[in-house]
């Protein structure tokens, strides 16, 4: 039996149709629905096949509609951890405090999530900034109540510190880099919706398509092969994971620490899905990136504050 024209099935669970109308659009208001019209049969592969696809790093397009979930109910079980514990070695100082459009980078990153109703909000800071009472007072003046904790020497240590500060009753944690002031909120919402609806998933991350031609090279710089762009994505944040599974993954010993939460889960044999988006998710690494961020804000003042439909 075919699905009605006004509905689109979830990629992972065809029985969960998105309950929408022709005028509903996407969860982010003002974003017209551009989901491709796919036949119902194309969206109903067996679950075992889906699992095999995940193991081959197949990503899910963010424009496919998520399952029907209540936004506030889903986020009521999740904490947001912003990792901002770096000392800015490449930047030349604490880039968290660098002003962008009249606000510090960190404060802009924090306020970018105002429209997503997380149950708890945590910021991980380097020791020097965590000890700065005036800074904490300034950051605490944001719209929500935030908890500030001290990070570690490695990113993974800072993520662990943020998760340790979570309410233990919360099931999900969204980890975000403090150097990314323009998080893709629609893709974040879709990651959370799919993760909450699919127990088989350990995590869901936002990712960007690769537009350059990629070459694998040897130690001398010789080109070994060309990597198909369709098979790779640029992993970004937020990365939303199940709290118990990421703690278990972190507890496993490896020669090299994981570069992100997705890799930790991959190593532990868990399934992680990537939602590809085409929004701006700039990471501030050098002073040149500050100029780019300023230009983006001047051109699109509301870039960071789309209106989310909570339903």
What sign for the dihedral angle of Cα 261, 262, 266, 267?
A: negative
Q: What is the pLDDT of residues 145-184, one digit of tens each?
A: 999 999 999 999 999 999 999 999 999 999 999 999 999 9
Does 25 or 110 have the greater pLDDT score? Answer: 110
Residue 56 lies in a domain: no
pLDDT grade for 64, boundaries at 50, 70 and 90: very low
Beta carbons within 10 angstroms of residue 200's beta carbon: 13
Angle at 232 (CA atoms; ends 230, 238), nearest 5 degrees: 125
- What CATH number is associated with residue 150? 3.90.550.10
Q: Is 42 helix (H, G, I), strand (E, B) or coil?
A: helix
Average pLDDT, the chain: 80
Residue 88 lies in a domain: yes
φ/ψ region of 111 (left if φ > 0, alpha if ψ in -120 to 50, else beta) reads alpha
Residue 125 lies in a domain: yes
The model's pTM is 0.77
Residue 53 lies in a domain: no
Residue 18 lies in a domain: no
Residue 36 lies in a domain: no
CA end-to-end distance (rounded Å), the chain:
29
Residue 59 lies in a domain: no
- Look at residue 181 in the predicted model and tell me its pLDDT: 95
- Look at residue 68 in the predicted model and tell me its pLDDT: 63
Domain assignment of residue 186, given as a range: 71-299
Residue 271 lies in a domain: yes
116 contacts 189 by C-beta, under 8 angstroms = yes
Beta carbons within 10 angstroms of residue 43's beta carbon: 17
pLDDT grade for 305, boundaries at 50, 70 and 90: low
80 contacts 113 by C-beta, under 8 angstroms = yes
What sign for the dihedral angle of Cα 47, 48, 49, 53?
A: positive
- Look at residue 138 in the predicted model and tell me its pLDDT: 87
Rounded Cα gap, residues 262 and 94, in angstroms: 26
Number of domains in the chain: 1
């Amino acid at each position: 039996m075919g699905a009605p024209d006004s509905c689109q099935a979830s990629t992972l669970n065809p029985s969960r149709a998105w309950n929408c109308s022709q005028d509903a659009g996407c969860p982010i208001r003002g974003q017209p629905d551009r989901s491709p019209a796919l036949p119902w049969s194309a969206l109903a592969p067996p679950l075992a096949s889906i699992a095999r696809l995940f193991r081959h790093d197949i990503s899910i397009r963010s424009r496919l509609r998520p399952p029907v979930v209540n936004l506030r109910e889903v986020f009521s079980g999740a904490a947001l951890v912003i990792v901002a514990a770096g000392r800015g070695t490449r930047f030349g100082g604490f880039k968290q405090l660098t002003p962008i459009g009249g606000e510090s980078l960190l404060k802009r990153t924090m306020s970018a999530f105002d429209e997503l109703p997380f149950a708890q909000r945590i910021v991980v800071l380097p020791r020097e900034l965590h000890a700065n009472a005036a800074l904490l007072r300034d950051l605490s003046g944001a719209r929500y109540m935030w908890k500030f904790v001290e990070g570690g020497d490695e990113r993974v240590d800072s993520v662990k510190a943020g998760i340790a500060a979570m309410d233990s009753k919360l099931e999900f944690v969204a980890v975000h880099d403090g150097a990314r002031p323009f998080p893709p909120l629609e893709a974040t919402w879709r990651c959370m919706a799919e993760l909450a609806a699919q127990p088989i998933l350990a995590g869901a991350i936002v990712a960007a398509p690769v537009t350059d031609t990629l070459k694998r090279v040897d130690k001398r710089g010789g080109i070994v092969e060309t990597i198909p762009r369709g098979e790779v994505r640029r992993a970004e944040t937020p990365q939303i994971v199940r709290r118990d599974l990421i703690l278990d993954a972190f507890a496993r010993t490896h020669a090299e620490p994981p570069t992100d939460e997705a890799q930790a889960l991959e190593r532990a044999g868990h399934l992680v899905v990537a939602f590809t988006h085409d929004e701006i998710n700039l990471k501030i690494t050098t002073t040149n990136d500050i100029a780019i961020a300023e230009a983006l804000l001047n051109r699109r003042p509301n870039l960071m504050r789309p209106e989310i439909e909570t339903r």
